[in-house]
Amino acid sequence: AQSVTQPDIHITVSEGASLELRCNYSYGATPYLFWYVQSPGQGLQLLLKYFSGDTLVQGIKGFEAEFKRSQSSFNLRKPSVHWSDAAEYFCAVGAPGNTGKLIFGQGTTLQVKP
Amino acid sequence: DAGVTQSPTHLIKTRGQQVTLRCSPKSGHDTVSWYQQALGQGPQFIFQYYEEEERQRGNFPDRFSGHQFPNYSSELNVNALLLGDSALYLCASSLEVAGEYQETQYFGPGTRLLVL
Protein backbone atom coordinates (compact mmCIF):
# COMPACT_ATOMS: atom_id res chain seq x y z
CA ALA A 1 0.00 0.00 0.00
CA GLN A 2 1.16 3.51 -0.68
CA SER A 3 2.05 5.42 2.44
CA VAL A 4 4.14 8.22 3.87
CA THR A 5 5.77 8.07 7.27
CA GLN A 6 7.05 11.03 9.20
CA PRO A 7 8.71 9.40 12.21
CA ASP A 8 8.97 12.54 14.31
CA ILE A 9 5.64 13.89 15.49
CA HIS A 10 7.17 16.78 17.37
CA ILE A 11 10.61 18.40 17.11
CA THR A 12 12.04 21.29 19.11
CA VAL A 13 15.13 23.17 17.96
CA SER A 14 16.82 26.35 19.08
CA GLU A 15 16.72 29.38 16.85
CA GLY A 16 19.79 29.38 14.62
CA ALA A 17 20.26 25.63 14.87
CA SER A 18 20.05 23.32 11.91
CA LEU A 19 16.96 21.27 11.17
CA GLU A 20 16.22 17.96 9.52
CA LEU A 21 12.71 16.55 9.21
CA ARG A 22 12.45 12.95 8.10
CA CYS A 23 10.12 11.47 5.52
CA ASN A 24 9.95 7.90 4.30
CA TYR A 25 7.56 6.63 1.70
CA SER A 26 6.24 3.37 0.37
CA TYR A 27 5.34 3.47 -3.28
CA GLY A 28 5.43 1.17 -6.29
CA ALA A 29 7.66 3.42 -8.33
CA THR A 30 9.46 6.70 -7.80
CA PRO A 31 6.68 9.13 -6.94
CA TYR A 32 6.54 12.85 -7.12
CA LEU A 33 7.54 14.18 -3.70
CA PHE A 34 6.48 17.30 -1.88
CA TRP A 35 6.97 19.17 1.35
CA TYR A 36 4.22 21.50 2.54
CA VAL A 37 4.10 23.77 5.59
CA GLN A 38 0.99 24.69 7.54
CA SER A 39 0.86 27.53 10.04
CA PRO A 40 -1.86 27.42 12.71
CA GLY A 41 -5.29 27.91 11.20
CA GLN A 42 -3.89 28.16 7.70
CA GLY A 43 -3.89 26.07 4.55
CA LEU A 44 -0.85 24.33 3.11
CA GLN A 45 2.00 26.19 1.46
CA LEU A 46 4.32 24.37 -0.91
CA LEU A 47 7.96 24.48 0.24
CA LEU A 48 9.52 22.38 -2.49
CA LYS A 49 8.95 19.47 -4.83
CA TYR A 50 10.86 16.71 -6.56
CA PHE A 51 9.78 15.30 -9.88
CA SER A 52 13.02 14.06 -11.42
CA GLY A 53 16.63 15.02 -12.03
CA ASP A 54 18.93 16.46 -9.39
CA THR A 55 18.13 14.71 -6.12
CA LEU A 56 18.87 17.82 -4.03
CA VAL A 57 16.09 20.34 -4.46
CA GLN A 58 15.92 23.89 -3.21
CA GLY A 59 12.75 25.45 -1.97
CA ILE A 60 11.43 28.63 -0.51
CA LYS A 61 12.42 30.11 2.86
CA GLY A 62 15.88 28.53 2.71
CA PHE A 63 14.66 24.92 2.82
CA GLU A 64 16.12 22.07 0.82
CA ALA A 65 15.35 18.37 0.54
CA GLU A 66 17.26 15.36 -0.70
CA PHE A 67 15.69 12.42 -2.46
CA LYS A 68 17.38 9.10 -1.69
CA ARG A 69 15.91 6.32 -3.79
CA SER A 70 17.78 3.56 -1.96
CA GLN A 71 16.30 4.66 1.36
CA SER A 72 12.87 5.72 0.02
CA SER A 73 13.41 8.98 1.83
CA PHE A 74 12.91 12.67 1.14
CA ASN A 75 14.22 14.53 4.17
CA LEU A 76 13.79 18.26 4.60
CA ARG A 77 16.65 20.39 5.87
CA LYS A 78 17.39 23.96 6.81
CA PRO A 79 20.83 25.15 7.99
CA SER A 80 19.59 27.82 10.38
CA VAL A 81 16.08 27.87 11.79
CA HIS A 82 14.20 31.11 12.41
CA TRP A 83 11.42 31.56 14.99
CA SER A 84 8.97 32.08 12.12
CA ASP A 85 9.62 28.52 10.93
CA ALA A 86 7.54 27.15 13.79
CA ALA A 87 4.68 25.32 12.08
CA GLU A 88 3.48 21.89 10.98
CA TYR A 89 5.34 20.25 8.14
CA PHE A 90 3.86 17.65 5.85
CA CYS A 91 5.57 15.33 3.41
CA ALA A 92 3.43 14.08 0.53
CA VAL A 93 3.71 11.78 -2.46
CA GLY A 94 1.82 11.71 -5.72
CA ALA A 95 1.78 9.54 -8.78
CA PRO A 96 4.06 10.82 -11.54
CA GLY A 97 2.02 12.99 -13.83
CA ASN A 98 -1.01 12.78 -11.58
CA THR A 99 -0.49 14.90 -8.54
CA GLY A 100 -4.17 15.45 -8.00
CA LYS A 101 -4.30 12.72 -5.40
CA LEU A 102 -1.62 13.28 -2.83
CA ILE A 103 -0.89 10.97 0.06
CA PHE A 104 0.26 12.86 3.12
CA GLY A 105 2.22 11.89 6.16
CA GLN A 106 0.90 12.60 9.62
CA GLY A 107 2.99 15.72 9.91
CA THR A 108 5.81 16.98 12.14
CA THR A 109 5.23 19.90 14.47
CA LEU A 110 8.26 22.14 14.71
CA GLN A 111 8.77 24.26 17.81
CA VAL A 112 11.56 26.85 17.84
CA LYS A 113 13.14 27.90 21.13
CA PRO A 114 14.48 31.44 21.40
CA ASP B 1 -3.01 36.72 -9.12
CA ALA B 2 -5.62 35.33 -6.76
CA GLY B 3 -4.79 32.06 -5.12
CA VAL B 4 -7.22 29.34 -4.13
CA THR B 5 -10.14 30.73 -2.13
CA GLN B 6 -12.64 28.88 0.01
CA SER B 7 -15.87 29.80 1.74
CA PRO B 8 -17.00 29.89 4.40
CA THR B 9 -13.98 29.96 6.71
CA HIS B 10 -15.83 28.37 9.61
CA LEU B 11 -19.07 26.47 9.90
CA ILE B 12 -21.02 24.85 12.74
CA LYS B 13 -23.63 22.20 11.99
CA THR B 14 -25.50 19.56 13.94
CA ARG B 15 -25.57 15.82 13.32
CA GLY B 16 -27.76 14.77 10.43
CA GLN B 17 -27.60 18.11 8.67
CA GLN B 18 -26.15 18.76 5.23
CA VAL B 19 -23.36 21.18 4.37
CA THR B 20 -21.96 22.75 1.19
CA LEU B 21 -18.43 24.11 1.00
CA ARG B 22 -17.16 26.20 -1.89
CA CYS B 23 -13.84 26.61 -3.65
CA SER B 24 -12.50 28.87 -6.37
CA PRO B 25 -9.30 27.61 -7.96
CA LYS B 26 -6.17 29.60 -8.61
CA SER B 27 -6.38 31.65 -11.77
CA GLY B 28 -5.54 29.47 -14.79
CA HIS B 29 -6.17 26.18 -13.01
CA ASP B 30 -8.80 23.74 -14.19
CA THR B 31 -8.59 20.85 -11.72
CA VAL B 32 -9.87 20.87 -8.17
CA SER B 33 -9.20 18.34 -5.42
CA TRP B 34 -10.75 18.18 -1.96
CA TYR B 35 -9.09 16.94 1.20
CA GLN B 36 -10.24 16.33 4.76
CA GLN B 37 -7.80 17.10 7.56
CA ALA B 38 -8.83 15.85 10.96
CA LEU B 39 -7.20 17.42 14.00
CA GLY B 40 -3.61 16.28 14.38
CA GLN B 41 -3.61 14.37 11.10
CA GLY B 42 -2.39 14.90 7.58
CA PRO B 43 -4.89 15.72 4.86
CA GLN B 44 -6.77 12.82 3.28
CA PHE B 45 -7.86 12.90 -0.34
CA ILE B 46 -11.63 12.95 -0.88
CA PHE B 47 -12.00 13.39 -4.64
CA GLN B 48 -10.88 15.35 -7.67
CA TYR B 49 -12.87 17.15 -10.34
CA TYR B 50 -11.81 17.88 -13.89
CA GLU B 51 -14.00 18.99 -16.79
CA GLU B 52 -16.99 19.01 -14.42
CA GLU B 53 -16.64 15.31 -13.67
CA GLU B 54 -15.35 13.39 -10.67
CA ARG B 55 -12.17 11.76 -11.89
CA GLN B 56 -10.63 10.22 -8.80
CA ARG B 57 -12.06 9.35 -5.43
CA GLY B 58 -10.50 8.45 -2.12
CA ASN B 59 -11.90 6.19 0.55
CA PHE B 60 -14.89 8.30 1.53
CA PRO B 61 -18.56 7.29 1.65
CA ASP B 62 -21.19 8.45 -0.81
CA ARG B 63 -22.35 11.02 1.73
CA PHE B 64 -19.51 13.07 0.31
CA SER B 65 -20.29 14.43 -3.13
CA GLY B 66 -19.12 17.29 -5.24
CA HIS B 67 -19.60 19.39 -8.27
CA GLN B 68 -17.48 21.44 -10.60
CA PHE B 69 -18.87 24.36 -12.55
CA PRO B 70 -17.91 25.59 -16.03
CA ASN B 71 -15.78 28.32 -14.46
CA TYR B 72 -13.80 25.52 -12.68
CA SER B 73 -15.06 26.44 -9.21
CA SER B 74 -16.22 23.56 -7.10
CA GLU B 75 -18.48 22.57 -4.25
CA LEU B 76 -18.16 19.83 -1.68
CA ASN B 77 -21.41 18.51 -0.22
CA VAL B 78 -21.65 16.33 2.85
CA ASN B 79 -24.99 14.78 3.77
CA ALA B 80 -26.15 13.27 7.06
CA LEU B 81 -23.31 14.82 9.01
CA LEU B 82 -21.60 12.79 11.69
CA LEU B 83 -19.53 14.01 14.61
CA GLY B 84 -16.53 12.46 12.88
CA ASP B 85 -16.94 14.78 9.92
CA SER B 86 -15.58 17.62 12.03
CA ALA B 87 -12.38 18.65 10.30
CA LEU B 88 -10.60 21.22 8.18
CA TYR B 89 -11.65 20.79 4.56
CA LEU B 90 -9.01 21.86 2.10
CA CYS B 91 -9.42 22.59 -1.56
CA ALA B 92 -6.47 22.38 -3.92
CA SER B 93 -6.20 23.35 -7.55
CA SER B 94 -3.82 22.46 -10.34
CA LEU B 95 -3.50 22.69 -14.09
CA GLU B 96 -4.01 19.71 -16.34
CA VAL B 97 -1.31 19.91 -18.97
CA ALA B 98 -2.04 18.61 -22.46
CA GLY B 99 -4.75 16.38 -21.03
CA GLU B 100 -2.07 14.11 -19.70
CA TYR B 101 -0.63 15.22 -16.44
CA GLN B 102 -0.93 17.72 -13.68
CA GLU B 103 1.57 19.96 -12.13
CA THR B 104 1.78 21.11 -8.57
CA GLN B 105 -1.30 21.57 -6.46
CA TYR B 106 -1.90 24.79 -4.58
CA PHE B 107 -4.04 24.74 -1.47
CA GLY B 108 -6.62 27.13 -0.13
CA PRO B 109 -6.89 28.19 3.54
CA GLY B 110 -9.61 25.66 4.24
CA THR B 111 -13.05 25.59 5.80
CA ARG B 112 -13.22 24.44 9.39
CA LEU B 113 -16.36 22.41 9.99
CA LEU B 114 -17.58 21.58 13.47
CA VAL B 115 -20.39 19.06 13.83
CA LEU B 116 -22.21 19.08 17.17
The whole-angstrom separation of Cα B63 and Cα B10 is: 20
Q: What part of B 59-88 touches A (C-beta under 8 Å)?
A: none
Name which of B76, B90, B2 is nearest B38 in CA terms.
B90
Q: Sort out which chain A residues have CB atoms less than 8 A from B106's CB and list them.
A: 46
Of A45, A98, A105, the CB nearest to B101: A98
Q: How many CB atoms lie within 10 A of CB B86?
A: 17
User: CB contacts < 8 Å between A and B, how many?
Assistant: 66
Burial profile B3-38: b = 16 or more Cβ within 10 angstroms, e = fewer: bbebeeeeeebeeeeebebbbbbbeebbbbbbbbbe
**Considering CB atoms only, which of A92, A99, A102 is closest to B103?**
A99
Least CB–CB distance from B110: residue in A43, A100, A103: A43
Contact A20, A77 (CB under 8 A): yes
pLDDT of residue B101: 54
DSSP string, A55-86: SEEE-GGG-EEEEEGGGTEEEEEESS--GGG-
State the Cα–Cα distance between residues B38 and A84, nearest whole angstrom.
24
**B36-68 tens-digit pLDDT:** 999 989 999 999 998 899 988 999 999 999 999
Chain A positions with Cβ closer than 8 Å to B: 4, 34, 36, 42-46, 49, 90, 92, 96-107
Please report the DSSP string for B95-110 in residue order. -EETTTEE---EE---
Residues A42-80: tens digit of each pLDDT: 789 999 999 888 899 999 999 999 999 999 999 999 999
